[in-house]
Amino acid sequence: MTQLRKLLFMMITGITVGTSLSSDEGMWTLDNLPQKKIEEKYNFTFTDKWLKNGQLASVRFNDGGSGAFISSRGLVLTNHHVAMGQLQKMSTKTADYVKNGFFTKNFTEEIKSPDLELNILVSMEDVTKQVVGASMTVETDKAKNEKRKEEIAKIEKASNDKTGLRSDVVELYDGGEYWLYRYKKYTDVRLVMAPELQAASFGGDPDNFNYPRFALDFAFFRVYENNKPIESKNYFKWSKEGARENELVFVFGHPGSTERQKTMSQISYQKDYSFPEYVKLLKYKLNLFRKYSQKGKEEKRRAKDYILGMENSLKAIEGELNGLRDKSVLATMQEREDKLQRLVSENPELKKEYGDVWNRIDSIQKKMITRHKEFYYRSASNAKLVNIAIKLVRYATELQKPNEKRYEEYRDSNLESLKFRLLSPAPIYNEIEEMMITNSLHLAIENLGKEDAFVKLALADKLPAELAKSLIPKTKLMDVSLRKELLAGGIDAIQKSKDPLIKWALQIDPILRKDRDWFDDEIESVQAIEGNKLSQLKFKAYGKSTYPDATFTLRMSYGTVKGFTDDSTIQIPFKTTYYGLFDRAESFDNKEPFTLSTKIAERKSAINMSKPLNFITTNDITGGNSGSPVINRKGEYVGLIFDGNSYSHVLSYAYTDNKARAVSVHSEGIIEALRSVYKMEKLVAEIIGE
């Protein structure tokens, strides 16, 4: 350890968030695992073979979520709520796979998902020197940011051209490091089995983010290539015993995002502006879809996925917001920042290099405050057809530029995935599209005013409902073949198109681009540079003894199967059972959302009531970990992450194992359901290796 680093470490001792790590903290990248700490605490050393299998058996659901291979024939297990979007897209008026479930007897009955892409991380490569080095050749913030992006685009394209693998440069430690992640990509993914919604989400919104839980939140897919199930050499073998109390367990998954490395000014912006606005927007849209769902049976089916997703998001964001309003949480984060700032101010060398970092980051938060409403309300792209139209316009526009000058999502390395999504045959409903455009523009008027540049340009003297009626019923973008023609025809086809939605997208895209470019030049450019500086300061103090914020890339966390004592001093056991499921339904007189599913109620006598259903652990997780496998020391599958309890909301900002818990479906509970409720013995035999 260098003299400077010794000094830094001595002066910072006592910081508990992001420095001296407590207990089972950390969503660790696979290149920097805390092996020594795990060895000392748990007397466990993982081998290269164990770790490599964990990497290659883990699956990222590119539409959000995680999963894992659990057989040699490409069988993937994830959550029902991760699969929900695909279940909804595959359902029809006469076949509601969300409400009634989906069950197969053999491979021929498995049906293809319309637009699901799965990724498996094949390799990782540190490219920090190339990315950071490129930005050092220019002076201004804007130029540095452009050079950084150009270098990332070059690296991704070169890798994609050479390997054929999806190649993403991932920013870690807020710009302190950049890594090239290469993924094997699969797009022929077929549904094998999903339980009915009432079994998967028993307890509904009241039980969401709470514990005890009694949910069969699982679903199975199979990966195909060349029209055959793949041979998955790396998969997690099923545990015969499942998770046991006080057992060491690991979670491999793709956590979405955390904010543990953010400065207090960034946290304050989220607490005072971003989150309150998002909560208001979610409540408005949730109320909108609840009203729509009351119109009829088919409307209820169409709205179900939207409603469940928004309910989940609203509860999560409100939980995080309440955590940020907790004085003790804020005090802990403030203490961390104060100590680091004192360290810099007391050392002339550090003060010269890092003294202005916080002021610069604070300055961009002040800029964001002035425009934060614009970034929420200058949009109608929640409507699927509007989103398609804008992407078609941008695809044609961006492809006229050199690869390294394009927006990130239109670089060569991302085009295949982009086109796959744009050409999805998933159903789109005109009534929902009109409703979303109309109400998005009503919100824009209400929050930005009629004189706002976007509002004036988007409406062109029409009322929101009038505009929606002039666009949705007349557009032909429902037709996938037309989208394909427009993609192939390029900018000429786009500019000559008479489709009203394409013409409208061409009309509003310039102002949306202007907003994005402002953010890139004024906010992102400073954030990237100062974030890199702050990370370098922390590296000098702590080395790589900590982990980066979550970025929807593969991470490993470790913990123990363990109950907790809640605020009322009641001891909460680590597991629930089928006994508890039936008792909870009976205690609420079998009324929604505590109604037993018909299939479970009918098979009551066949179910082994003592089998564990859900369980909790101290693993460090966040959104995106849904569907992650829980693995024991042997590398065996013992559980399926599907939620956190109400105390886990604070994990976005600081880890605690006092009451915060990750919630999983127990492996024994899954097998019991497949055997006793759904009678899927063939699937059970494949899972347990018989």
Q: What is the pLDDT of residue 690?
A: 76
Q: What is the C-alpha separation between 173 and 131, in angstroms, rounded?
A: 14
pLDDT at 69 over 60: yes
Provide the pLDDT confidence category of residue 22 given band limits of 50, 70 and 90. Answer: low
The mean pLDDT of 75-79, rounded to a whole number, is 98
623 and 257 Cβ atoms separated by less than 8 Å = yes
What is the per-residue DSSP string for 430-476? HHHHHHHHHHHHHHHHHHH-TTSHHHHHHHTT--HHHHHHHHTTT--
What is the per-residue DSSP string for 516-565? HHHIIIIIIHHHHHHHHHHHHHHHHHHTTSS-PPP-SS-EEEEEEB--EE
Lowest mean pLDDT among 66-70, 530-534, 681-685: 530-534
Contacts of 615 (CB under 8 A, 6+ apart): 243, 561, 574, 575, 576, 639, 663, 664, 666
Residue 327's nearest CA partner among 271, 257, 261 is 271
pLDDT at 62 over 60: yes
The Cα angle at residue 421 between residues 416 and 423, in degrees rounded to 5:
95
Q: What is the pLDDT of residue 21?
A: 61
147 and 156 Cβ atoms separated by less than 8 Å = no
Any bridge partners for residue 183, and if so which? 121, 166
pLDDT at 660 over 70: yes
pLDDT at 289 over 60: yes
- 566 against 395, higher pLDDT: 395
Q: What is the C-alpha separation between 585 and 600, in angstroms, rounded?
A: 11
Beta strand 571-572 pairing with 612-617: unpaired
CB atoms within 10 A of CB 382: 16
Q: What is the C-alpha separation between 105 and 116, in angstroms, rounded?
A: 22
472 and 437 Cβ atoms separated by less than 8 Å = yes
Contacts of 295 (CB under 8 A, 6+ apart): none
Q: What is the CA radius of gyration of the chain?
A: 25
For the stretch 470-481, pLDDT in tens is 999 999 999 999
What single letter denotes the amino acid at residue 22? S
467 and 459 Cβ atoms separated by less than 8 Å = yes
Instruction: Name the H helices within 325-429.
Output: 327-345, 348-354, 357-377, 384-398, 412-422
What is the per-residue DSSP string for 73-125? T-EEEE-HHHHHHHHHHH--SS--HHHH-EE-SSGGG-EE-SS--EEEEEEEE
pLDDT at 483 over 90: yes
383 and 435 Cβ atoms separated by less than 8 Å = no
- 5 against 403, higher pLDDT: 403
Q: What is the pLDDT of residue 1?
A: 39
Provide the pLDDT confidence category of residue 105 given band limits of 50, 70 and 90. Answer: very high
Contacts of 383 (CB under 8 A, 6+ apart): 432, 433, 436, 437, 440
CA distances for 172 relative to 211, 249, 407, 520, 521, angstroms: 33, 25, 20, 18, 20
Q: What is the pLDDT of residue 576?
A: 98
Provide the pLDDT confidence category of residue 369 given band limits of 50, 70 and 90. Answer: very high
Take residue 96 and report the two structure tokens written for it: 């509601």
Cis omega (within 30 of 0) on the bond before 593?
yes
Task: Report the percent of the chain where pLDDT is more than 90.
Answer: 91
Strand arrangement of the beta sheet that strand 575-577 belongs to: 555-560, 248-253, 629-631, 637-644, 662-666, 612-617, 575-577
Take residue 528 and report the two structure tokens written for it: 């990237």
CA distances for 161 relative to 149, 155, 639, angstroms: 18, 10, 38
pLDDT at 519 over 60: yes
Please report which helix (H) or strand (E) contains residue 628, including its range.
Answer: none
The mean pLDDT of 294-308, rounded to a whole number, is 97
Q: How many residues does the chain have?
A: 690
Any bridge partners for residue 645, and if so which? none
For the stretch 374-429, pLDDT in tens is 999 998 778 999 999 999 999 999 999 999 999 999 999 999 999 999 999 999 99
Task: Report the percent of the chain where pLDDT is more than 70.
Answer: 97
Take residue 296 and report the two structure tokens written for it: 């009829």
CA distances for 517 relative to 201, 389, 453, angstroms: 41, 20, 16
What single letter denotes the amino acid at residue 408? E
3-state secondary structure of 302: helix
For the stretch 111-170, pLDDT in tens is 999 999 999 999 999 999 999 999 888 889 999 999 999 999 999 999 999 999 999 999
Q: What is the C-alpha separation between 227 and 67, in angstroms, rounded?
A: 21
Provide the pLDDT confidence category of residue 4 given band limits of 50, 70 and 90. Answer: very low
3-state secondary structure of 247: coil
278 CA to centre of own chain:
17
477 and 485 Cβ atoms separated by less than 8 Å = no
Take residue 634 and report the two structure tokens written for it: 């042997």
Q: What is the C-alpha separation between 20 and 12, in angstroms, rounded?
A: 9
Please report which helix (H) or strand (E) contains residue 675, including its range.
Answer: none
φ and ψ of 637, to 5 deg: -80, 120
- The per-residue pLDDT of the chain, averaged, comes to 94
3-state secondary structure of 68: strand
Q: What is the pLDDT of residue 19?
A: 45
Q: What is the dihedral sign for C-alpha 244, 595, 671, 70?
A: negative
Residue at token pair 């109309």:
438
Q: What is the pLDDT of residue 18?
A: 40
Lowest mean pLDDT among 96-110, 336-350, 431-445: 336-350
What dotted CATH number matches 3-117+187-259+548-688?
2.40.10.120
Q: What is the C-alpha separation between 74 and 225, in angstroms, rounded?
A: 10
What is the per-residue DSSP string for 185-215? EE-EEEEEEE--HHHHTTTHHHHTT-SS---
Provide the pLDDT confidence category of residue 542 given band limits of 50, 70 and 90. Answer: confident
Take residue 148 and report the two structure tokens written for it: 């950084």
Model confidence, pTM: 0.94
Q: What is the pLDDT of residue 147?
A: 96
Any bridge partners for residue 565, and if so which? 571
pLDDT at 492 over 70: yes
Q: What is the C-alpha separation between 288 and 551, in angstroms, rounded?
A: 31
174: left (phi over 0), alpha (psi -120 to 50) or beta: left
What single letter denotes the amino acid at residue 436? M
What single letter denotes the amino acid at residue 558? Y
Residue ranges, CATH 2.40.10.120, the chain: 3-117+187-259+548-688
CA distances for 500 relative to 415, 468, 470, 519, angstroms: 25, 11, 8, 29
For the stretch 621-642, pLDDT in tens is 999 999 999 999 999 999 999 9
Take residue 672 and report the two structure tokens written for it: 């019991």
119 and 58 Cβ atoms separated by less than 8 Å = no
Identify the burial level of 594 via C-beta atoms within 10 angstroms of its C-beta, where 0-12 means exposed, 13-18 middle and 19 or more buried.
Answer: buried
Provide the pLDDT confidence category of residue 23 given band limits of 50, 70 and 90. Answer: confident
